[in-house]
Amino acid sequence: MPDALPALAVLGCLASDTTRIVNVAQARIKETDRIAVMTQELKKGSVYSRRKDGFTVHRSDLTGAHVNGHGDHRVCHGACPAGMAAKGKRSIDTAESAAVTYPGFWRILQALEQRFIN
């Protein structure tokens, strides 16, 4: 679950109801404290509440923002659906870290965006 947490957090913003991510305290000891990092970045465009072992995300209309990937490949991967769904300009610091586990990530994402978004 700690690896899926960033993407699930973002998908929670797009869900029709409240999303509760619980019992994932181990996510605090990955490349970053993913609970702290995702709630920090989500507060730029959504509503959430944080707990020791997880957090709750409420449906949000995402707006463009500059987010920090915190050098964590999973955070960068997870931020992408948010950027694609957001209205307005968006960017990710340390985006190059996505290549750690998926070297072709940005190329594939750009192709998908051109095909389905533009």
Handedness of CA 31, 35, 40, 46 (dihedral sign): positive
Task: Count the neighbouring beta carbons within 10 Å of the beta carbon of residue 56.
Answer: 16
d(CA 30, CA 93) in angstroms, rounded, equals 19
Bridge partners for 21 per DSSP: 55
Active-site residues, by number, are 3
Rounded to 10 degrees, the C-alpha dihedral 13/60/20/18 comes to -120
Residue pair 5/21 in contact (Cβ under 8 Å)? The answer is yes
